[in-house]
Copies of this chain bind each other. A is one copy, B any other.
Amino acid sequence: MNIKPLQDRVVVRRVEEKKETASGILLPGSAQEKENMGEVVAVGPGKASDSGTIIAMTVKVGDKVMFGQYSGQEVKDDNGEKLMIMREDDIIAVIG
């Protein structure tokens, strides 16, 4: 299944965080924060402005991004992998 987002939407694969350290200790706080990060796997064509022109996207496939805590909608692809679809505006920063 190939998901092609519309408008200024972005498909993000969440970073799967190791929830334990090498020695097996859970690190809940830090791990939870990392769940708002991911990698862009698909990018829409951009939103149409009021005048009809398309506003170019800023993020691109492969970018590591950080997004708002309650942003986007979770979808599952054919492999059962959970992905997030959100508007580019929900992405607050690119991590480089």
What residues make up the interface of A, taking CB atoms closer than 8 Å to B?
1-7, 9, 11, 30, 33, 45, 48-53, 55, 58-59, 66, 68-69, 73, 75-76, 80, 85, 88-89, 91-96
Contact = CB atoms under 8 A, between A and B. Distances in A.
A89 B58 contact: no
Given A73-B68, A73-B69, A6 B51 contact: no
Contacts of A93: 3-6, 9, 11, 75, 85
Nearest to A45: B58
Count this chain's copies in the assembly: 7
Given A33-B75, A73-B69, A76-B33, A91 B6 contact: yes
A13 to B, nearest CB: 14
Contacts of A50: 49-51
